[in-house]
Amino acid sequence: MEVTQRNLIFSKVDSKNSNEIIHYLAEKLFKAGKVNKDFEQAVKERERVYPTGLPIGDIPVAIPHTDVKYVKQSAIAIAILKNPVEFHNMAKNDESINVKIVVMLAMKEPHSQVDMLQKLMKMFQNQDLLTKISNLDDNDEIYEIVSKQID
């Protein structure tokens, strides 16, 4: 089973803040049967204590996630935001970053998706690719690009 799925990629998502987008993606993962009902709350709490904004160039990314125990099947859900929302910087809690792309990670096993993570990080470093993705409004097109990078 591939980790990226067509039905878990969303473009032009309108969210006012990080909590809203976390709710949006967590609900999608829950409805797709990937995570249990406590996943969303756990991600929100984790984000408060250990923020996940990555200062990675012109198109910063956030990777909200939580403990593996809330996950039923590994998946990632991706949202391209209509307008950037603030996430706190992973390395400096008191700094915030305007995030344009949110990649919610639902990992079933600790340390198991190494390969996928590496590819994801590599993709984040390709700012040209991120710029391209962030301007697309067709979910399928985004899926084609992302799945080629990751799966």
Note the residues at the interface with other proteins (CB under 8 A).
Answer: 46, 49-52, 54-57, 63, 65-68, 90-93, 105, 107, 110-111, 113-114, 117-118, 120-121, 124-125
Q: SS3 string of 5-41?
A: EEEEEEEEECCCCHHHHHHHHHHHHHHCCCECCCHHH
For other proteins, the closer CB: 51 or 142: 51
Half-sphere exposure of 101 (CA within 13 A, CB side): 31
Shortest distance (Å) from residue 14 CB to other proteins: 27
Closer Cβ to other proteins, 33 or 57, answer by number: 57
In the bound state with other proteins, the residue whose beta carbon lies nearer, of 33 and 55, is 55
SS3 85: strand
State the nearest-atom distance from the C-beta of 131 to other proteins, in Å.
16
Count CA atoms closer than 13 A to 52's CA, side-chain side: 19
Q: 140 phi and psi, to 5 degrees?
A: -65, -40
Shortest Cβ distance from residue 90 to other proteins (Å)?
Answer: 6
Q: Which is nearer to other proteins, 16 or 115 (CB)?
A: 115
Beta carbon of residue 81, minimum distance to other proteins (angstroms, whole number): 20
Residue 51: CB partners within 8 Å, gap ≥ 6? 62, 87, 88, 89, 90, 93
